[in-house]
Structures are given as structure tokens and as C-alpha cells.
Amino acid sequence: MRQISLLLLSTAMLCSFTVTPSSAADQPPALSSGSSVLAPPTPASPTPAVLPAAPPALPAVTVKIGVIDMERISSESAMGKAAKNTIMEQQQKLQKKLDGKKRRLEKMKEDLERKMPSLQPAQREAKAKEFQKKVEELQRFGMGAEKELMATKEKLTKELIDAIEQAAVEIGKTRKLATVVVKQEVLFLGSGVDVQDISEDIVTQVNGKPHQK
């Protein structure tokens, strides 16, 4: 860059340098016709500086990413449907047991309220403790049922996610994707990004069928 600047500066200086005669006496004598005196050579024009050519533009790079809809996969895949049915059946079963215990406890309460006036103080206290014990047992059963149902949900959800991740790896390699992300978690995508929804391929892969390329 410094050499180019110096060359341009030298060229400008040469172009601005001219000879201006101060008087007629200083003018060179005119040549007569047929004179053998040769005219002075005309000075060559300075060669302009040549700037380097701009580098060629790089081709645009398109990044391919895959997105998946977890809700769609869960509702459409055979594995997701089976997991939902299992959880629903277990929930209904536990709820039925809980409702039965509640009904028995309500009946016990009604019987105690009817018998309390005829009982001695010690008997009332004993019946009240017995009823409270049944209430605590119902509460423990409810909490245990909730934990049991949650454990089943976590187990089946993990199995489904593992299957989805495995399918995403295989499909991502086949389609030469840069990455695969969950659709619901994508907040922004810039230009130069080729977004491909592979949810249907994931469903097919999870169901044990070869996906379409």
C-alpha cells in the first residue's frame, strides 16, 4: 500500500511539472525549412499506477438445519400413542382406588357423627384417632399414587425422547443437516438458513419404518 501511494505521488508530481519560458530571448530559435537539426524528443507520458484486482466474491453458504415438532411426534407416533394410553389407564386405575377410599372414609365419618352422642369420652377420643389415622392413610395413598404416575410418565417420556434423538441423528446424517432442533424452541433464524421440518420422517423412523430421503 505504501509503494502504491509513493508511485501515485511520483506520477502526480511528474504531471504537474511544466516548463514556462520567461521571455522571448529564452525561446529556442525557430528551425528553417529543410534544417537538419533534429527536434528534441517528446517526453513519454508517465505510466499510471496499476491497482491490484479485487479478490473474487466467495460463494454464499447455506446452512441446512432440521426442526421437529415434539407435540406432533408424540401424538402421531405409535410409541407416543402407546405411552399416552398407558399413562391414562394407570391414572384411571389409581383414581378409581382413591375414589373408593374416599367413599369409605366418608361413610366412616357419617357413622361416627351418628354414634358420637352415645359414646363415652374415652370412646369418642379413640374413634376420633381411628378416623384421623384413616385420613392420613388416604393422604399417603394419594401422594404415593401421584409419585407412581409421575415415575411412569418420566420413564415413557425418556424412552420416546431417546427414540426421537436416535432417529434425528440418522436423518440428520442422511440429509447432511448441520443440526436438528426442537421447533418450539427456535426464536430466530437469519438469512442463508435452509429450514427443513423432519417431524414426519421422525414419526416414520420411530415407528420402525425407513424414512424417505
Q: Where are the domains of the chain?
A: 63-206
**181 in helix, strand or coil?**
strand
Task: Work out the percent of the chain whose per-residue pLDDT is above 70.
Answer: 69
Record the cell numbers describing residue 168, joined without a space.
Answer: 434425528
Q: What are the tens digits of pLDDT across the range 164-179?
A: 999 999 999 999 999 9
Q: Cα-flanking dihedrals φ and ψ of residue 134, to 5°?
A: -65, -35
DSSP 3-state of 21: coil
CA distance 103 to 138: 11
Distance (Å, whole) CA 166 – CA 207: 12
pTM over 0.85: no
What pLDDT does 42 receive? 60
What pLDDT is attached to residue 208? Answer: 86
Separation between Cα atoms, residue 27 and residue 146, nearest integer Å: 116
Superfamily, domain 63-206: Skp domain (3.30.910.20)
Q: Model confidence over 76-133: pLDDT tens digits?
A: 999 999 999 999 999 999 999 999 999 999 999 999 999 999 989 999 999 999 999 9
CA distance 113 to 127: 10
Measured distance CA(68)–CA(80) in Å, rounded: 15
pLDDT tens-digit map of 132-162: 999 999 999 999 999 999 999 999 999 999 9
